[in-house]
Structure 1
Amino acid sequence: MRYVLLLRGINVGGRNKVVMADLRKQVQALGFTRVATYINSGNLFFDSLKSVEDISAMFQAFFEQTYPFVTAFSLFNHEDYQADYLSLPAWWQGELARKDVLFYTEQVDRQLVKDRVAALPMGDELVHFGRLGVYWGKREEKNYLQTAYHKFLLKEPFYKQVTIRNGKTLEKIGEFLSR
């Protein structure tokens, strides 16, 4: 089965450096096959016959030893991606100034995220709660600095327990999972 592992908080502002070529080799050494990465922000793809629980435990141990600053990641397979993607509302495919996905990690309290996001003053923002994360759309770039996304997200207690990808990267994740 094809999986993606989305790492949180690596290669940001010169901190928590992970060289993707090194990570690919290390993950292959763990026994995973067809290992690939996309851009430098920690999008790791691989094949495995192991269960999600076993894979997650392997990566938790690996990161504790090799990259201890990696404390949160999101792990899912192609089937989970497809189910979430196909359930997106029509507005996600429309013209928006920005699209982001706040992927849940194993550490996050999903209900807390939903409750906190639902309580934010949304204005012209759009939100969809999927199984893998929160899909967030912003209609106009000129109002971005006034959006709940920009003004409140960093202050939320769950912020360090989600990993964020933009809409373009979401599409690339789908392409890599389909290979």
Structure 2
Amino acid sequence: MTLYQAVADTKTSRLTTMDVVAVVAGSLLLTLSAKVQVPFYPVPMTMQTLVVIGLGLALGPVRGAAAVALYLAQGALGLPVFAGTPEKGIGLAYMMGPTGGYLAGYLPAALLAGWLGQRGWDRNVFTAMAAALLAGAVIYLPGLLWLGSVIGFDKPVLAFGLTPFIPGDIMKAVLAAIAFPAAWKWLSRKGMN
């Protein structure tokens, strides 16, 4: 059971209005997380990866991935949902740039986080931290491969596309490891799980 299922009190596999609302709200939250930059060393960070992982953990693999897919579709259509995009957005051109692989990695990350969340990994600090780190690592696989194909593998791809982001990703995993077990504990006090 996921947090969403505990709150929505749904154990059915049928699509409900609440599912649609959760998916749309998730895509909007992902858009908001892309627009907020947090000062951090060595590079400023957005909260996108935390939200992608959180959507998976909270909504489960199907709903979490659906929210991410909706977000990506909005961006592909030219809506200004991505980090650093202007008001009118630039659609597929942005997605074909250096960050395109990371965006593609959001889908398997949400699926993995959701799968782990369904198995209870989000209920204690240690497994929630592991789930967040594993799901976050999944984003780097297509991200680094795509970045290398765009800038050239003769460049230090890891130095550009991985190393500067590790401290921020660890911080985001810590936040997930605190937030999700706390949410489950709160729900258990309310008798909702």
> Which protein is richer in helix relative to its size?
2
Q: TM-score, normalised to structure 1's length? A: 0.28
> Which protein is richer in strand relative to its size?
1
Q: TM-score, normalised to structure 2's length? A: 0.27
